[in-house]
């Protein structure tokens, strides 16, 4: 359903010709040169800009003696994710904290923005969720290779004993490939399914019937962002195991 959102039309009017020009230099062809930026990408950029402005504004107001309300909330979020990482990865995992907080707030805000009447969730598009999942996949593999070395990391695929390696390697590879698939499909189906339910209920009884589902959607937006971050932390802890005796 090609609903034209005011924000993506605005962005296409402003940046459309530049994108078509740059795309022409790179050899890309657009299906509709009047609107080269898809609405999911436009809303993704909106979420990114909103987050950057919010964190920049909050950083200027940070203070130890008299913290503001938003500082309290963000402290709860940051300390909560940090304690979660400590319990799953260990204290040496603190360097992965900024990635997870930015991923979590990005996914949360982009899930939430779909509830605003004339905006669309970028995560209601499989391409955006697949992008987030692929980033997590590449990131945890890169961390594993960097922490343990390429050969040592690949040895984990062979299982505990070398004799069952021909059985374990396809199973391990398949389960590793299933991870970004399940991450992206989980987030996409949750958010897109919520949007579909809201659309159907709006068709039945416009301003009243969707309200309980929208309040549930706020909760599931938070939950899905939380679970995405938790699974990313668990995958990193599995990849960067620090030579302890692990039961595969």
Partner 1 sequence: MRKRILMLSTLLVLGVLFMTPIFAQTEGETGGTSAWYLVLPAFAMALASAVCGLGQSKAIVAACESVSRNPGAADSIRFFLILGLVLIESLALYTLLIILIT
C-alpha distances (whole Å) from 3 to each of 6, 9, 39, 118, 232 are: 10, 11, 9, 10, 33
- 96-135 footprint of partner 1 as x/- string (CB under 8 A): ----------------------------------------
Give CA–CA dist 118/219, Å, rounded. Answer: 20
182 near partner 1 (CB under 8 A): yes
227 near partner 1 (CB under 8 A): yes
230 near partner 1 (CB under 8 A): yes
HSE, CB side, 13 Å, CA atoms: give it for residue 73. Answer: 6
Looking at beta carbons only, is 58 or 230 nearer to partner 1? Answer: 230
224 near partner 1 (CB under 8 A): yes
Looking at beta carbons only, is 201 or 230 nearer to partner 1? Answer: 230
Which residue among 158, 185, 201, 209 contacts partner 1 (CB under 8 A)?
A: 185
| Helix (H) / strand (E) containing 89 | none
Give CA–CA dist 205/201, Å, rounded. Answer: 6
Work out the burial of residue 71: count CB atoms within 10 Å of its CB; fewer than 13 is exposed, 13-18 middle, 19 or more buried.
middle
Q: Which residues sit at the interface with partner 1, rule CB under 8 A?
A: 84, 182, 185-186, 188-190, 192-193, 196, 223-224, 226-227, 230
């Amino acid at each position: 359903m090609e609903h034209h959102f005011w924000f993506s039309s605005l962005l296409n009017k402003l940046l459309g010709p530049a994108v078509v020009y740059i795309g022409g230099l790179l050899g890309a062809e657009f299906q509709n040169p009047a609107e080269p930026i898809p609405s999911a990408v436009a809303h993704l950029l909106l979420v990114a800009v909103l987050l950057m402005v919010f964190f920049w504004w909050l950083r200027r107001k940070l203070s130890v003696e008299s913290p503001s309300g938003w500082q309290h909330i963000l402290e709860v979020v940051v300390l909560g994710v940090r304690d979660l990482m400590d319990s799953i990865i260990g204290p040496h995992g603190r360097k992965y904290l900024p990635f997870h907080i930015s991923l979590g707030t990005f996914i949360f805000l982009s899930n939430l923005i779909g509830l605003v009447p004339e905006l669309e969730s970028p995560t209601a598009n499989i391409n955006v969720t697949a992008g987030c999942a692929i980033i997590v996949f590449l990131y945890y593999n890169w961390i594993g290779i960097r922490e343990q070395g390429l050969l040592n990391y690949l040895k984990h695929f062979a299982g505990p004993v070398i004799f069952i390696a021909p059985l374990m390697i396809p199973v391990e590879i398949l389960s590793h490939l299933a991870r970004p698939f399940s991450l992206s499909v989980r987030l996409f189906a949750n958010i897109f399914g919520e949007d579909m339910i809201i659309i159907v209920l709006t068709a039945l009884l416009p301003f009243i019937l969707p309200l309980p589902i929208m309040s549930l959607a706020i909760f599931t937006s938070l939950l899905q962002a939380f679970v995405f971050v938790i699974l990313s932390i668990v995958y990193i802890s599995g990849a960067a195991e620090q030579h302890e005796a692990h039961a595969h």
